[in-house]
Amino acid sequence: MTLSLGALLYITIATGMGLLISCFMKSQIAAIFGTSIITLIPATQFSGMIDPVSSLEGIGKWIGHIYPTSHFLTITRGTFSKGLNLFDLPWSFIPLLITIPIVIGLSVFFLKKAGGLNVAYRTKYF
């Protein structure tokens, strides 16, 4: 249950980040490439996947604490290695819960109208 909830939160954040990045790209290929660069490099370098976040210095440590992958890795390691549950890992779930409305809200704010449909068209014909 703990790992499933953590994975659901992390996937929601990853989807929101993809949507946010696609708001600034002109094509789908550019959005896929940009999303992979912006998400994979920090996820592997600064999240504690290779080196612990506590051993990072400067801006790398700051990115490691902010980036959602480090919190998801803590949930994963705690669940698999120690058998921890949701109530044992609140400080890993709270940043994920805070990040979701921020990323989704920014995505909605920057998202342009698609297909030329506006409110007047929808109310007139539907």
Strand, helix or coil at 1? coil
Return d(Cα 76, Cα 62) in angstroms, integer. Answer: 21
Output the pLDDT for position 15: 92
Output the pLDDT for position 49: 85
Report the mean per-residue pLDDT for the chain: 86
| pLDDT above 80 (res 121) | no
Residue 64: both structure tokens together: 């490691």
For the segment 61-117, what is each residue's pLDDT rounded down to a tens digit? 898 888 999 999 999 999 999 999 999 999 999 999 999 999 999 998 888 765 554
Output the pLDDT for position 14: 92
Output the pLDDT for position 113: 62
For the segment 6-46, what is each residue's pLDDT rounded down to a tens digit? 999 999 999 999 999 988 888 889 989 988 888 888 888 88
| pLDDT above 60 (res 124) | no
- Per-domain residue ranges for the chain? 2-125
Output the pLDDT for position 100: 96
For the entire predicted model, the pTM comes to 0.82
Return d(Cα 94, Cα 125) in angstroms, integer. Answer: 44
Output the pLDDT for position 126: 47
Return d(Cα 35, Cα 19) in angstroms, integer. Answer: 9
